[in-house]
Structure 1
Amino acid sequence: MGAWGPGIFSDDLAADIRGDYRELLEDQVPDDEATGRILAAYRHLDSDEVHVLWLALAAVQASLGRLDDEIKARALSVIDRGEGLEPWQEAGPQGLARREAALSKLRTQLTGPQPARRQVRRPWRHVTDLQPGDLLARVASNGDTCLLRVARIDDQRVGAAPVIELLDWKGQALPKDRQLRRLRPRYRDDGPHRPMTYRVARLRKKDPDWHDAGFERVAQGLQQQGDDALPPWSYCGWSQLGDEVDRLVGPPKAAQ
């Protein structure tokens, strides 16, 4: 079904529609135009999917005080005609009852008093001050230093975050410049044989940045061929990456 629960937005397609609609409003697209763009973007839907469009669009519009009369009528028709219930009928009486309850709740929301129109603002977006080719060092909990190289900056709507590779080196004193340029990425010891690369992002203002998490920029200009296409195999924040470094390097050294 593409759904993981009976809720209106417990569905991949419905969640995508909601996200796309909200992004248009965040970009200050007028209400009517935003509705038109969503309808155009999802005009390819098959007959057994289009009911999701009307339900999701009506639900998100109602939650933001922007319920369009035509969208409302379409959604109510879907609910009253029982469109899209076949997979839930196959799932059994309990699943069907929960879906019907979710639809009944949406019907009440659509036919009841509508909330005031809500302003939709863009969420906070962090743009890193790191650059491709930057080399970061972090002293792990056992006293050894690990090195990580910024391969590229992944610039997305939600933020611009570095894609970083952990280098196959640890020690006390930093290597000389020539040796730095010869360092290769560290590969995972478990699972698929692939380099240890990370997209490291700040999702909230209160999340620590690289310098807050104990990382230090120790060199620049270490770009390599192929950096633009380097995929991140892990996604985390700076605190989580610091914990990963500690785990990989080993436990703290015993006190003398």
Structure 2
Amino acid sequence: MGTFGNEIFEDDLALDIKYSFEEMLNSEVGINELIDNVMLEFEDSFEDFDEAMTAVLALATLVVENGFKSQKLKNELDKVVEESEYLECLKEENLELYESRVELIKKLKENL
């Protein structure tokens, strides 16, 4: 999986989640079931140190962009931010991407 820019959907994993979300959005499932289905489909990514942050941010962005709210996803975002060293590693490796992700986290926490 690769990141080719600072925006959340400039990442292969985020794009895969987006395509899956959009496909399921057109079905008759409710938003909570849709979230569960995406999280199950990408379970390994949601549990992986390097991928969990991207997976949660991508799904949360899609939920917010489509006018939904999800306490479960907000809790998942809080969990991954608290438990992951990802942001600290990212800060050392790519300050611009780090700042972009921190801004996105703030926006999502306000809107989930």
Please say whether Structure 1 and Structure 2 have the same fold, judged by a TM-score greater than 0.5.
Answer: yes
Partner Cα separation in structure 2 for residue 106 and residue 6 of structure 1: 16
Higher relative CO (Cα under 8 Å, sequence separation at least 6) belongs to 2
1:59 alignment partner in structure 2:
61
Percent pairwise identity: 29
Secondary structure at 1:70's aligned position in 2?
A: helix
Alpha-carbon displacement from aligned partner over 1:192-240 (angstroms, at most 9, x marks no partner): xxxxxxxxxxxxxxxxxxxxxxxxxxxxxxxxxxxxxxxxxxxxxxxxx
1:34 alignment partner in structure 2:
34
Letter in 2 for 1:105: K
More strand by share: 1
What TM-score, normalized by structure 2, do the two folds share? 0.75
- The offset of 1:13, in angstroms, is 0.7
Q: Extract unaligned runs of 5+ from structure 2.
A: none
Alpha-carbon displacement from aligned partner over 1:124-148 (angstroms, at most 9, x marks no partner): xxxxxxxxxxxxxxxxxxxxxxxxx
- The offset of 1:90, in angstroms, is 0.9
Q: Extract unaligned runs of 5+ from structure 1.
A: 111-256
Partner Cα separation in structure 1 for residue 83 and residue 39 of structure 2: 21
Q: Are the structure 2 counterparts of residues 96 and 69 from structure 1 closer, same or farther at C-alpha, using a change threshold of 3 Å?
A: closer
> C-alpha root-mean-square deviation of aligned residues, in Å?
2.4
Aligned length: 109
- The offset of 1:83, in angstroms, is 4.7
Partner Cα separation in structure 1 for residue 62 and residue 41 of structure 2: 16
Q: Which runs of 4+ in 1 moved over 4 A?
A: 80-83
Letter in 2 for 1:87: L
2:73 alignment partner in structure 1:
71
Q: Are the structure 2 counterparts of residues 94 and 73 from structure 1 closer, same or farther at C-alpha, using a change threshold of 3 Å?
A: same
2:92 alignment partner in structure 1:
89
What TM-score, normalized by structure 1, do the two folds share? 0.37
Say whether the 8 Å CA contact 2:6–2:96 is kept in structure 1. Answer: no
Letter in 2 for 1:26: N
- The offset of 1:88, in angstroms, is 4.5
More helix by share: 2
Q: Are the structure 2 counterparts of residues 79 and 8 from structure 1 closer, same or farther at C-alpha, using a change threshold of 3 Å?
A: farther
